[in-house]
């Protein structure tokens, strides 16, 4: 969409998330995963003499969740997005034909 100065402006909806936001999001997911892991280990200890089957499931979750949380936290950034679908390439202007110039020796 042209502005007053005649320059074209393109939308950047497909832009990548900032690095600080990406790290903050990964830290938040890791803390949530570790909180769930801590709660599951506590639940396993509390339920050990009451419901042993549920305690085994909670203990299994407490054992597996740290590995999953670390893998998710250390995963790389999202892939670079492709150009937005609203991107329209600039029109190609046709080239001008070269003028036919005769040599000075041909004119005589």
Is 2 in a helix, a strand, or coil? strand
DSSP state of 6: S
State the DSSP H helix or E strand holding residue 14, giving kind and residue range, or none if neither.
Answer: none
* pTM for this entry: 0.55
User: According to the model, what pLDDT value does residue 70 have?
Assistant: 85
The one-digit pLDDT tens for each residue of the chain (108 residues) are 445 556 766 666 666 677 888 888 888 988 998 999 999 999 999 999 998 999 999 999 999 988 988 888 787 766 655 555 565 667 787 777 777 766 655 555
Question: Whole-angstrom Cα distance, residue 69 to residue 59?
Answer: 16
User: According to the model, what pLDDT value does residue 105 have?
Assistant: 56
């Amino acid at each position: 969409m042209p502005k007053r100065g005649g320059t074209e402006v393109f939308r950047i909806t497909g832009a990548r998330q900032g690095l600080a936001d990406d790290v903050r999001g990964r830290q938040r997911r890791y803390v949530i995963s570790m909180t769930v892991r801590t709660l599951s280990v506590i639940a396993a200890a509390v339920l050990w003499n009451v419901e042993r089957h549920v305690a085994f499931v909670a203990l299994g979750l407490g054992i597996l969740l740290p590995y999953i949380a670390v893998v998710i936290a250390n995963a790389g950034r999202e892939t670079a997005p492709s150009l937005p679908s609203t991107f329209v390439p600039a029109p190609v202007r046709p080239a001008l034909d070269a003028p036919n110039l005769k040599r000075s020796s041909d004119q005589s």
